[in-house]
Amino acid sequence: MTSTVLILATLDTKGEEAGYLKEVIESRGCRGRVMDVGILGEPLFEPDIKRQEVAAAVSGGMEEIVSWRDEERAVKAMSEGASILVKELYSRGELDGIIALGGTMGTSIALPVMKVLPLGVPKLMVSTVAFTSFIRPELVSKDLVMMQSVADMWGLNRITREILGNAALMIAGAAGRKQVSGEKRSLIGISTLGGAVLTYVFTAKPLLEEKGYEVAVFHATGMQGRALEELIDQGLIDGVLDLCPYEIINELCGGTCNAGPHRMEAAARRGIPQVVGTAAMGFFDWPGPPETFPPQYKGRVWKKHNDLSWEIKASSDEMTRVAEIIAGKLNNAKGPVVVLIPRGGFSDRDRPGGVFYDPENNELFIKTLKKNLGSEVKVEELDCHINDPEYAQRAVSLLTGMM
């Protein structure tokens, strides 16, 4: 069966480019279907889905949107209308991939549309502002591919043909690929940081695989935490070793590894088994050197992780607050939860001589967490470090017992 790629574009300003995308996509055996989300000018060619259909999905129609004389409101309406139609196309099996192109306007229309599609549906955004401060992480679909257009899309030339041709081949290849069939095993998600800080995955993953589970590891850098939540909500993950709540302390402190306010909520909402840990509590990430730290963080203990990231020690007040936040999320769980606490330390930074070693702060965190957890949430404490094999072995035993 022929795969269908939806091409989202403003045909009054990006008609040539959209037509070229369609031509290349169809040369690769896919069907190219164009949705026009332009507002004022005339479309360069007749699309498969007209702007009037997009507008009608969310308002009184195109005339009403134009009559507002409000650019921001009109762009938002077209984005919402396109989102509704795209969701319907996908639910009917009429969409196997999506590509969009634009500057700030086209990008702002397309990004929310991409987000209505589940993980795994190929999504490609060709944008003149792809890797700039315009693109905030929370605007981007978890598995979106962004491609920078180095020249403005103002008609076709040898530069834009090269960029758009590559983009068309990418989305056609992704949309046309066939899923490999096979036996479906229960999928376990594990949250962690890199192997220099946390090592329990090296023990837990093979143990789970020996027991017949499929394992997906999520690095707690913000975007992957959002992906973990979305995959749980889609029903793709059956149990979780959510041992690293690092994104929650980053969200509290305004750190880089921020997954937003709803991290560690999907598993509770869906009632899947979860073992929750305390990995990397005690510090958070900042995207610049000490001279860029805000006033409240200046003078604190810090560590340079690499050229992209500096780690800052959390205060006792922040440790108390994050423990309260985690407890509040877990108390809403509809399924079984065990909190597994390693009393010997929460990360490789948290050992005697380590830069963030602070047993008093850890004890405060543990006491606050236990005090605020409801009676339905079980707590188990181990006399070991979080990176000791004993911790990972017990985490796996607890989760598989609940599974």
Decide if 182 is inside a domain.
no
Q: Are residues 167 and 250 in the same domain?
A: no
Q: Are residues 111 and 208 in the same domain?
A: no
Distance, in Å, from the CA atom of 135 to the CA atom of 273, rounded to the nearest integer, reads 35
Q: Which of 239, 211, 200 is nearest to 392 (CA)?
A: 200
Pairing type for strands 309-313 and 283-286 reads antiparallel
Q: Are residues 208 and 295 in the same domain?
A: yes
Neighbours of 233 (CB within 10 A): 17
Distance, in Å, from the CA atom of 387 to the CA atom of 367, rounded to the nearest integer, reads 21
Q: Are residues 224 and 356 in the same domain?
A: yes
Decide if 24 is inside a domain.
yes
Decide if 142 is inside a domain.
yes
Q: Are residues 148 and 211 in the same domain?
A: no
The secondary element (H helix, E strand) that includes residue 176 is helix 158-176
Decide if 313 is inside a domain.
yes
The pLDDT assigned to 150 comes to 85
Decide if 297 is inside a domain.
yes
Q: What does the pLDDT look like over 217-258, one tens digit per residue? A: 999 999 899 989 989 998 999 999 999 999 999 999 999 999
- Among residues 127, 155, 176, the one where a domain terminates is 176
Instruction: Provide the token pair at 114.
Output: 């991409």
Decide if 181 is inside a domain.
no
The pLDDT assigned to 282 comes to 96
Q: Are residues 127 and 192 in the same domain?
A: no
- Among residues 176, 210, 242, the one where a domain terminates is 176
Residues 242 and 272 sit within 8 Å (Cβ to Cβ)? no
Q: Are residues 221 and 137 in the same domain?
A: no
Decide if 133 is inside a domain.
yes
Q: List Cα–Cα distances, 379 to 22, 99, 359, 382, in angstroms.
A: 56, 47, 19, 10
Backbone angles phi, psi at 88, to 5 degrees: -65, -45
* Residue showing tokens 């096979």: 182
The pLDDT assigned to 135 comes to 84
CATH code at position 110? 3.40.50.12020
The pLDDT assigned to 180 comes to 42
**Burial tier of 294 (Cβ tally within 10 Å: 0-12, 13-18, 19+):** exposed
Q: With the CA atoms of 345, 349, 354 and 358 taken in that order, what torsion angle do they form, in degrees rounded to the nearest 10?
A: -50
The pLDDT assigned to 181 comes to 43
CATH code at position 265? 3.40.50.12030
Q: Rounded to a whole number, what is the largest CA-CA distance in the chain?
A: 70
The helix/strand/coil state of 305 is strand
Q: Are residues 199 and 165 in the same domain?
A: no
Q: Are residues 223 and 345 in the same domain?
A: yes
Decide if 369 is inside a domain.
yes
Distance, in Å, from the CA atom of 374 to the CA atom of 311, rounded to the nearest integer, reads 32
Q: Is the pLDDT of residue 140 over 60?
A: yes
Percent of the chain as helix, strand, coil, to the nearest 5: 40, 20, 40
Q: Are residues 146 and 207 in the same domain?
A: no
Distance, in Å, from the CA atom of 110 to the CA atom of 113, rounded to the nearest integer, reads 5
Greater confidence (57 vs 133) lies with 57
**pTM for the structure as a whole:** 0.78
Q: Are residues 258 and 351 in the same domain?
A: yes
The pLDDT assigned to 183 comes to 58
Tell me the mean pLDDT in the region 256-265: 94
Q: What does the pLDDT look like over 154-184, one tens digit per residue? A: 899 999 999 999 999 999 999 987 444 455 7
Q: Which of 265, 310, 306, 320 is nearest to 286 (CA)?
A: 310
Beta bridge partners of 157: none
Q: What does the pLDDT look like over 284-332, one tens digit per residue? A: 999 999 999 999 999 999 999 988 899 999 999 999 999 999 999 999 9
Tell me the mean pLDDT in the region 6-28: 96
Q: What does the pLDDT look like over 37-90, one tens digit per residue? A: 999 899 999 999 999 999 999 988 899 999 999 989 999 999 999 999 999 999
pLDDT band per the 50, 70, 90 thresholds, residue 141: confident
Count the domains in the chain. Answer: 2
Q: Is the pLDDT of residue 389 over 50?
A: yes
Q: What does the pLDDT look like over 185-228, one tens digit per residue? A: 899 999 999 888 999 999 999 999 999 999 999 999 998 999 89
- Among residues 176, 211, 235, the one where a domain terminates is 176
pLDDT band per the 50, 70, 90 thresholds, residue 134: confident
- Structural domain boundaries enclosing 223: 187-402
Q: Are residues 242 and 149 in the same domain?
A: no
The pLDDT assigned to 220 comes to 94
Q: Is the pLDDT of residue 11 over 70?
A: yes
Residues 129 and 152 sit within 8 Å (Cβ to Cβ)? no
Q: Is the pLDDT of residue 283 over 60?
A: yes
CA-based radius of gyration for the chain: 24
